[in-house]
Amino acid sequence: MTRMPFPLLAALAAALLAPGAAAQDWPARPVRIVVPFAAGGTTDITARVVAEQLTPVLRQSVVVDNRAGAGGNVGATEVARAAPDGYTFLMGTPGTQAINQFLYQKMPYDTARDLIPVSFVVRVPNVLIVHPSVGVKTIAELIAKAKARPAGMSYGTPGNGSTGHLSTELFKSRAGIFVTHIPYRGSGPMLLDLIAGQIEMAIDNLPSAIPHIRSGKLIALGVTSEQRNAQLPEVPTIASVLPGYVAESWFVLVAPAGTPAPIVTRLSAEVDRILRRPEVIERFKGLGAEPVGGTPEQLGAVIAAATRKWQQVVKASGAKLD
């Protein structure tokens, strides 16, 4: 019987034990959450709430790193290519996890292969908003105005492939109107231009839009959820005018494939506990967002269902990007 040399045996044992040891000692340094959009949008807001709550729990700084560009692909690609050691995560969106793979001709990462689910953080409706100068107060009035100006209106989005983009394309097709798409590098810069009147309308996540609606700088015409939202009870659903229209968004934590399972399991459990705290629930609900939580497996099922849905929407819209 041939015996394995002791140094080789020791090296093999260390390799087998390494993931467990790494998970047991995790985290030993700051943890990074990459936000694939500019600061100020709902993805950014959500990540900062989670980072703030996780920092004392993990006893390490949890920092937010904004990496905007290409509809979220820049930030998502950075995470997909990062070392799977539990120190880099992505605050994913329907764009990075479901939509972009059908919208872009060439993808720099494989959504299903390169990123794994960790935790479902929040679910949010989108809201149709316009600048006051547009001079409309209802969805029907907006549709009529757009039909009267078939090439004269523009809408902004947080980026190509965002739910704001596809939600508006779905709205356009259902309403039978045309408005020009102006993509930005996140909700923050898009909202600044909308407030300034540089663009006329948008469908954006409720948490990032609601402060400007409450201040009167923007007018909310409709929400994209099946039911009215408690934070804007006077605003109707778009489905009340365009039956069957529903286009909600969500924000989730995902990790590079190969991240040790014990780290994924622990982080998912910690986020789940955080989302059950009354003060966190109230904070998100005040923004119009619904905390969710759950296991990585449950999140995986959500992403799979969203992938099927948005594939159909992209196909129906005809939207494609290089």
Question: Per residue in 248-284, pLDDT tens?
Answer: 899 999 999 999 999 999 999 999 999 999 999 999 9
pLDDT number for residue 1: 45
Q: What is the pLDDT of residues 92-125, one digit of tens each?
A: 999 999 999 999 989 999 999 999 999 999 999 9
Taking 50 as the pLDDT cut, the residues of the chain under it are 1-2, 4, 7-11, 13-15, 17-18
Separation of alpha carbons 107 and 73, rounded Å: 8
Give the model's pLDDT for residue 318: 78
pTM over 0.85: no
pLDDT on residue 304:
96
Secondary structure, 3-state, the chain: CCCCCHHHHHHHHHHHHHHHHHHHHCCCCCEEEEECCCCCCHHHHHHHHHHHHHHHHHCCCEEEEECCCHHHHHHHHHHHCCCCCCCEEEEECHHHHHHHHHHECCCCCCHHHHEEEEEEEEEECEEEEECHHHCCCCHHHHHHHHHHCCCCCEEEECCCCCHHHHHHHHHHHHHCCCCEEEECCCHHHHHHHHHCCCCCEEEEEHHHHHHHHHCCCCEEEEECCCCCCCCCCCCCEHHHCCCCCCCCEEEEEEEECCCCHHHHHHHHHHHHHHHCCHHHHHHHHHCCCEECCCCHHHHHHHHHHHHHHHHHHHHHHCCCEC
pLDDT, position 248: 85
Q: pLDDT value at position 5?
A: 52
Considering only CA atoms, give the Rg of the chain: 21
Residue 22, pLDDT score: 57
Sorted by where each starts, the structural domains of the chain and their CATH numbers stand as 30-123+250-317 (3.40.190.150), 126-240 (3.40.190.10)
